[in-house]
């Protein structure tokens, strides 16, 4: 279980980074933006977040493994 702020910070960072990469490197990076958005949407319905599991297993950012 992680604090929601940490998940939001990661998601926001990933979205902004992928937008920058899509603009200046290659438009295919916009697919990563879509992936992050779809993951946020599905986690709002299912309460399953892969990033939360990864952070929990690594013991980072105060997260605990379920």
For residue range 4-56, what is the model confidence (pLDDT) as tens digits? 788 889 999 999 999 999 999 999 999 999 999 999 999 999 988 888 888 88
pLDDT value, residue 66: 64
pLDDT value, residue 58: 83
Is residue 51 within 8 A of residue 10, CB to CB? The reply is yes
pLDDT value, residue 63: 73
Q: Is the pLDDT of residue 59 over 90?
A: no
Q: Is the pLDDT of residue 2 over 90?
A: no
Is residue 64 within 8 A of residue 6, CB to CB? The reply is no
Is residue 52 within 8 A of residue 63, CB to CB? The reply is yes
pLDDT value, residue 11: 92
Maximal CA-CA distance, the chain: 39
Is residue 1 within 8 A of residue 61, CB to CB? The reply is no
Residue in this structure with the two tokens 């105060």, named with its chain if needed: 62
């Amino acid at each position: 279980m992680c604090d929601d702020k940490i998940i939001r910070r990661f998601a926001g960072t990933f979205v902004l980074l992928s937008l920058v990469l899509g603009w200046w490197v290659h438009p295919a990076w916009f697919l990563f933006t879509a992936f992050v958005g779809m993951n946020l949407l599905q986690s709002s319905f299912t309460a399953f977040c892969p990033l939360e599991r990864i952070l929990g297993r690594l013991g980072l950012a105060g997260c605990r493994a379920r």
